[in-house]
Amino acid sequence: MSHPLGVVIVTHNSQRVIGACVAALDRQRVSLQVIMIDSGSDDTGYLEPFRNRPGFTVECRDNIGFSAASNAGFSLVDRRANYVLFINPDTFVGENSLASALEIIVSRPRIGALTGILKGYDIADHRPNGLIDSTGVFRTWYGRWYDRGQGQPVGSGYGVEQEVPALCGAFMMCRVQALQSVLEKPDSQLFDESYFMYKEDIDLSIRLRKRGWSLLYTPRVIVYHGRGWAKDRQQIDHQVRCLASANEVKLNLKHRSPYLLWSIGKYLAVRILHL
């Protein structure tokens, strides 16, 4: 690879996890250009140690949301780069996983983006929790999008590489050529900024597939993700649940999905009944 892999990390009060995220990137045998875009942290002092690191760019913005911050990061990726990784600050890349991911995506020109097996990570205990976090994003027969395998024990399956409907935004390695294909219209955005956060990864996945690109899940790439969602839905802030369900309605409207009525019903149940 002639140019560094661009890595875009959006931070927001991420002081507990960003050090481990960067340490895992440092262990990769890949040349990296790391771009951190902070979206409205209460105190950005924790990012200061990264400002003067070679190959790092740190910019602090108001709380513009995940999509807008990701787009800002992508705009700073070296224009000669052929591949870019979008990764959450609570995501820790396993040993040699970036090299494996690059080997796969470079050798298969139809792949627009790929992800690996995302294993759960307990931030408080600083260790893997033994459960699967995501092996790609799928949709049920009635229309709900979900991370396949989530909550199941690691080792319970998903050892076969395959194309998937959508990718989890916690780890998306993308071909820049594929991303550029969804930006052909002058008013296009990479991540749709009308999604402040949640479902923007599914929206981008759908748009890539509509452009003829395949999305790949590969168990050869191992990643650990300290997902912020609470296990009990009632512990999740009501406004956050409303935002996620509203974005599901928006997703189905935008892509003219037959699951629109289901998503509207879900939104009303969350909004009114606090389900």
Q: Give the residue among 113, 119, 123 at the shortest CA–CA distance from 135.
A: 119
Residues 224 and 209 in one domain: yes
Residues 151 and 210 in one domain: yes
Q: What is the CATH number of the domain that holds 195?
A: 3.90.550.10
Entry pTM: 0.92
Residues 167 and 202 in one domain: yes
pLDDT digits (tens, 9 = 90+) for 157-215: 999 999 999 999 999 999 999 999 999 877 789 999 998 888 999 999 999 999 999 99
To which H or E segment does residue 48 belong? helix 48-51
Cβ proximity of 8 and 176 under 8 Å: no
Cβ proximity of 146 and 138 under 8 Å: yes
The percentage of residues in the chain with a pLDDT greater than 90, rounded to a whole number, is 73
- Beta partners for 119? 132, 224
Residues 151 and 253 in one domain: no
Residues 152 and 271 in one domain: no
The whole-angstrom distance between residue 139's C-alpha and the CA centroid of its chain comes to: 17
**Backbone Cα Rg of the chain:** 18
Q: How many structural domains comprise the chain?
A: 2
**Residues contacting 135, CB < 8 A, separation 6+:** 117, 118, 147, 148, 149, 158, 164, 217, 219
